[in-house]
Amino acid sequence: MKKEDFISICKSQKPDIIVQKHIIEDETFFFTNVVPKKEFDFKKDIANILNVHIRDIVIVGSGKLGFSLKPNNAEAGLYLFNEFDSVKKSDLDVGIISSSLFDKEMKNLYDFKGFHKNNWDNKNSFAKYTLKGRIAIRFLPIDFKLTDEIKKAVEKYKMEFGREINIEIYKSWHYFETYHRENIKNIQINLLR
């Protein structure tokens, strides 16, 4: 999809439709233009490794659309829609929507940290995301051993695609869609300025 088309869609469609149609269902830029015809195999392999359903795996971010939906770091309301691989090699962001995987990782973290040893550098960032129904793996304690399955999936495709693979685990579709819908609403507000 072209940036201009997406901006036009943002101006004319409701956020929930944009999320469901263009972020969840539309073709994935990365698997259409960078590594063609491998999306099914990628998702099926990740699903098998993590013991989730293939439909619970969604490619998001610039790998999905071909451009980033993140606001500019210096100016929060400025959306530059940076193109995939334009400034530096883009990460491939993967959302896993699985209540059981979410609960398993939270239990593993609790068991690892225990009741009293619950401090680490990114604890507040991790907590902020967890309250929004998602585990942002990048904010886990450095010494926390991810479930072997997640590490296996990330490392396998990091080697194969030659880029970082970021996995975030969402508790449910409600949290996944709400996060992306709110982001689309922010984009819409900023496009009206």
pLDDT single digits (tens) 68-112: 988 666 566 677 788 999 878 999 999 999 999 999 999 988 888
| Cα–Cα dist 9/4, whole Å | 9
Taking Cα atoms as reference points, which of 57, 73, 66, 58 lies closest to residue 90? Answer: 66
Q: Residue 67 in contact with residue 82, Cβ under 8 Å?
A: yes
pTM for this model (two decimals): 0.89
pLDDT in tens, 141-192: 877 877 778 888 889 999 999 999 999 999 999 999 999 999 999 999 888 7
Distance CA 98, CA 80 (A): 31
Percentages (nearest 5) of helix, strand, coil residues in the chain = 55, 10, 35
User: Which ranges of 31-172 would DSSP assign to H, the alpha helix?
Assistant: 39-50, 62-65, 99-113, 123-131, 148-161
Q: What's residue 141's pLDDT? A: 83
